Structure 1
Amino acid sequence: MMKRILLACISLFFLGCGNFLDINPESEVVNDDMFSTAEGVEDALYGVYMSMVKEDMYGGDMSVLFPEILAQNFLTDEGYWIYLSRLDYSDVYARVSCKDMWIQSYLVISYLNNIIENLDQKSVKDFKYYDLYRGEALGLRAAIHFDLLRLFAVHINSTNENAKAEAIPYVTKYTFKVTPFSSVEEVYEKVITDLKEAEICLVEDKILMPKIRKGGGKGFTGARELHFNLYAAQAMLARVYWMKGDLTNAKKYADKVIQSEKFQFVDQEDLATFMKRRISLSETIWGLYTTEISSFLYDMHMVKTLMTLPSNWKLLYKNTEGPEPGEDKRLSAWFLSKENTGNSKDICVKIMDESNDASEYSGGAYFGFSMIRIPEMYYIMAEALLEEGDKEHARDYLDAVVSARGMVKFADRDTGKDITLDDIMNERRKELFGEGQWWFCLKRLNRDVYVHALDATLKGSDRIYTLPLPTEELDPR
């Protein structure tokens, strides 16, 4: 029986930086005939990537807006979002605000399952890049399920056994049948299984991704930073194991990414521009192609002021440890004061272009948003080594990022002073500000959260760290 699925944004012209440029946003019906050619499979995968960067997913809500508001990195008093900023999910509007993110994510997962099921009927004899196709689809399916788990389910260390028993559905079949909920542990197992298989399938990226990348790659094997690649699989495994609390395995996969020597810290003079509207050809392990996220943030943060920085945000980058911690270059590179309606306001320009530049791609780094970058691997290594008791090497990994951002290394501040988990967490927050990751750092440790809208600190709990499921998902399954 012919399987059909609607995919958006898959009419592509093979120009510029591979097949991601000059996209004509039309919906097409994708069926079994499409998977009879390599070009058809690639178009289906490009359709998935372009669906992932809609505002309901990583083009806004899942990448920056929701996790940054929840983490109190940005404030808002806008409509439904105010309930999220208060970490109050009891109101029906909070549930409504999360609904589209859930629906769009599972829609994209259905696209991926259709691709995987059709590939199951093929082999490397049919398509030259069969393993790459399969690896990307499996990796993307795992990554989306993992983010849904982090957002909508309790953490694996929760004491609420009933909540842990029903986390989210892990959907692996292209079917209209309802998929039952899996437990938190089961979802982790399935995510890890998909990512490990993806890692095996994507081994060719060792050759396809050189150490020095200049952009302008063409065809399916060009611009691999914009595809779920080998190192994305390894970095995601590191992130997943870290979130789960398995630092031994997190360290194993973080080390794989670092030892590949494919990713380096950018020069300090490039800090202000290397992520602005673009991914980094040095630091980005995996990113999503989009020309819209910068304008989305410009609209939200600059024009309409729906996202504002809290009044004390600068204290985050004020390092008082040691006699000469040095200047944190991230402060001046990623934040500035901008005139708006006669008033000056502080804005974060790390990802957003403050002039709302809409010029076309002309070479170099690709337009897009980084899903995972190399500094995170160093933080995972530092934390894992600290837990093992190897405090010196833990500090070395943390210092690698610290010095790259212009500050004096911890090793050169107070002689004999060991780093702490709080040191690592503080550096994580500074480095990943605006990238949607701090909320999950807090959730993993069940930290108390100071809520600006309430002027109060809420105790860490499942209640504040678990977004509400859409009402329809609560019906008998």
Structure 2
Amino acid sequence: MKRQYLILLGVALAIIATGCRKYVEIEQPNQRTLKYTTDYRYTMNNNSVLEGTFSYPILSGDDTEITDPTRQNTLGDILGNVYTWAAKYTSETQGDADWEKLYKTIYTCNEVIAGVRSSLGGTTAEKEKIYAEALVHRAYAYLILVNMYGKQYTDATATIDPAVPLLTTPNLYTSLKRASVSEVYTQIVKDLSESVSRLPALPDYNVRPAKVSAYAILARTYLNMRDFNKASVYADSALTLQNTLLDLKTFAAAPGTVPVRLKDPEIMLSKLSGVTYTAISVSNDLLTAMGVNDLRYRIFTNTRSAFGGGFSAAFTGRANSRYLLNGEFSIVNGPSVPEMMLTKAECLARAGNTAGALTLVNDLRKKRFTDANYVALTANSADEALKIVVDEKRKELFGTGLRWFDQKRLNLDQSFAVSKTRVFKETSYTLSPNSNRYLYPIGDKYILLNPELAQNPR
């Protein structure tokens, strides 16, 4: 029991540190347990816990390319290991920031799910809404975890491939044996499906889950499961409720006026990278594919001079600068209108609907070019359309870390299964299609404390 407690000790201490709850049997003087519905609402308003999500995949994906020696030297050991798809990322004494962040979210949600409906003082509707919000946040955390630490979902092996511990109660002494990929996906779908009837169509603020965000996460979930029919249906459901795009022509002359996330009409659920890496270089092949007329290139990437004197490392080329524009310094990677449009487009292309897929892509691109520079894309086949969709998604979502998950799942398509190579500190590293290095290693620190946490093959 002691060893099982230790892996989540950091989570429990973090909850205590934020004042959410003292994990005791009775109320203590000057301390407040979760008792009233308002206590659970305050807990679900804790964006510092619930809005944060992954960060390492930003370095893993092929939309990032760090070639300058000075930049490589500033990464340090853990981030250097992430960037080179190493066998291990952390030592026996180092923590995995993404693992801990996501399980902290899950622990908080489990506390709310277990207690809010029997809390005092609130209406049934209020309790059910809070309960549903926790289900959505938990589902999103597990969707990220299963795709970072588990194998890519395939019908043939999902029931036997190990994923991550599936914790659905706040009990710190539960088993930490890794559930299968299939079991985790089943829980994700269950949580999201259960949440929908209890949520409003759209949220008061996009940091809170609503029907639109549950539908969007279901679309992403089924896309990863290669159930393209259901992914298409849920992308449609999300877009029916929310479909406004930012017109980048509006911001070309004044990039700093790009809206903050709470006012961004594209965001269906705000999720932020756990760490904002300063000036992450965009890969040269992606910059070339975008071209200088693409407003995403002109507005959201910049050269070294844009990052100010506080950033000392020199680099050539261009780096992601979107998070600098409005002063928030946040990398947003939750589900969005562009992602759902491209998810729907991919599903249409895979179904042979070339025209439908290209219509969605071009509707998006019209908002990403000036009128003088916009050229509609065409395709002669569904396969060509699919490639256009995948390429467009890489351009649209670069710097968020989402490309890494697409790389991993697209390895199951022969036309996208290609090796990736990087040179880091004069050593070349290659990532082969379907390599075990697409699975993030589980930290040795956690395995030492909890031997049932078997390591991923390397």
Q: TM-score range by the shorter chain?
A: 0.7 to 0.9
Tell me what 2:321 maps to. 349
Tell me what 2:239 maps to. 258
Structure 2 distance, partners of 1:284, 1:171, is 28
Task: Return the offset for 1:311.
Answer: 4.8
Over 3 Å counting, the alpha-carbon distance change for 1:94 and 1:315 in structure 2 is: farther
Of 294, 303, 318, the match for 1:337 = 303
Of 162, 167, 171, the match for 1:166 = 162
Structure 1 distance, partners of 2:284, 2:357, is 33
Tell me what 1:281 maps to. 264
Tell me what 1:215 maps to. none
1:343-382 alignment to 2 at 5 Å? Answer: 345=316, 346-353=318-325, 357=327, 369-382=332-345
Tell me what 2:82 maps to. 84
1:115-264 alignment to 2 at 5 Å? Answer: 115-122=112-119, 126-157=123-154, 164-179=160-175, 180-202=177-199, 204-206=200-202, 209=203, 222-223=204-205, 225-261=206-242, 263-264=244-245
Structure 2 distance, partners of 1:79, 1:148, is 24
The letter for the 2-side match of 1:165 is D
1:282-297 alignment to 2 at 5 Å? Answer: 282-288=265-271, 297=276
Note the residue ranges of structure 1 that are not aligned, 5 or more in a row.
11-24, 210-221, 320-326, 360-366
The letter for the 2-side match of 1:450 is K
- Deviations along 1:264-320, one digit per CA (max 9) or x if unpaired, are 3435223644667635532111114x7x97xx64xx425xxxx4344555213139x
The letter for the 1-side match of 2:375 is V
The answer as to 2:29 corresponding to 1:29 is: no
Structure 2 distance, partners of 1:342, 1:27, is 38
Contact kept in structure 2, 1:235 and 1:254, CA below 8 Å: yes
The answer as to 2:285 corresponding to 1:315 is: no
Contact kept in structure 1, 2:117 and 2:128, CA below 8 Å: no
SS in 1 for 2:171: coil
Task: Return the offset for 1:241.
Answer: 0.4
Structure 1 distance, partners of 2:97, 2:217, is 24
Over 3 Å counting, the alpha-carbon distance change for 1:26 and 1:458 in structure 2 is: closer
1:3-152 alignment to 2 at 5 Å? Answer: 26-30=18-22, 34-47=33-46, 49-52=47-50, 57-58=52-53, 62-63=54-55, 66-74=56-64, 75=66, 76-77=72-73, 78-80=75-77, 81-88=79-86, 90-91=87-88, 93=90, 99-122=96-119, 126-152=123-149
Structure 1 distance, partners of 2:161, 2:430, is 29
The answer as to 2:361 corresponding to 1:398 is: yes
Contact kept in structure 2, 1:8 and 1:50, CA below 8 Å: no
The letter for the 2-side match of 1:396 is T
SS in 1 for 2:303: strand
Mean Cα deviation higher: 187-196 or 176-185: 176-185
Note the residue ranges of structure 2 that are not aligned, 5 or more in a row.
1-8, 67-71, 412-416, 454-458
The answer as to 2:375 corresponding to 1:408 is: yes
Mean Cα deviation higher: 31-40 or 249-258: 31-40
Count of aligned pairs between the two proteins: 404
Structure 1 distance, partners of 2:179, 2:236, is 30
Structure 1 distance, partners of 2:313, 2:442, is 41
The answer as to 2:420 corresponding to 1:450 is: yes
Structure 2 distance, partners of 1:266, 1:425, is 21
Contact kept in structure 2, 1:274 and 1:280, CA below 8 Å: no
The letter for the 1-side match of 2:389 is I
Mean Cα deviation higher: 384-393 or 431-440: 384-393
Tell me what 2:414 maps to. none
Structure 1 distance, partners of 2:141, 2:109, is 11
Over 3 Å counting, the alpha-carbon distance change for 1:358 and 1:439 in structure 2 is: closer
Over 3 Å counting, the alpha-carbon distance change for 1:67 and 1:449 in structure 2 is: farther
Task: Return the offset for 1:99.
Answer: 2.3
SS in 2 for 1:433: coil
Contact kept in structure 1, 2:135 and 2:192, CA below 8 Å: yes
- Deviations along 1:67-115, one digit per CA (max 9) or x if unpaired, are 1210133324422222221112x24637876623213322321121111
CA RMSD of aligned residues (A): 3.4
TM-score of the aligned structures, taking structure 2 as reference length: 0.78
Over 3 Å counting, the alpha-carbon distance change for 1:387 and 1:93 in structure 2 is: same
